[in-house]
């Protein structure tokens, strides 16, 4: 269950940052991404997948969330 900070990159994409691992990857896909909620399974550009229960209302970034590895 890594704690992950998500921020908006200069190019508008969401950046998935795992502090413990100094890992920075862009988020390629998110399962739920609507006005009201955000979350579910996320796919990173390096191919790995993580999961977080969808959050309502949609959080404002940057924010830190606890993800599960899928």
CB of 52 to other proteins, least distance (A): 16
CB of 43 to other proteins, least distance (A): 15
Asked if 63 is part of the footprint of other proteins (rule: CB under 8 A), the reply reads yes
Asked if 37 is part of the footprint of other proteins (rule: CB under 8 A), the reply reads no
Asked if 62 is part of the footprint of other proteins (rule: CB under 8 A), the reply reads yes
Residue the block writes with tokens 């996320």: 42
Q: Which residues bind other proteins (CB under 8 A)?
A: 5, 7, 10, 17, 19, 21-25, 45-46, 62-64
């Amino acid at each position: 269950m890594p704690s992950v900070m998500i921020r908006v990159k200069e190019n508008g994409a969401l950046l998935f940052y795992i502090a413990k691992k100094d890992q920075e990857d862009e988020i390629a896909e998110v399962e739920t991404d609507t006005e009201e909620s955000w979350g579910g399974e996320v796919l990173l550009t390096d191919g790995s997948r993580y999961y977080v229960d969808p959050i309502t209302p949609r959080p404002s970034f940057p924010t830190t969330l606890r993800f599960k590895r899928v």
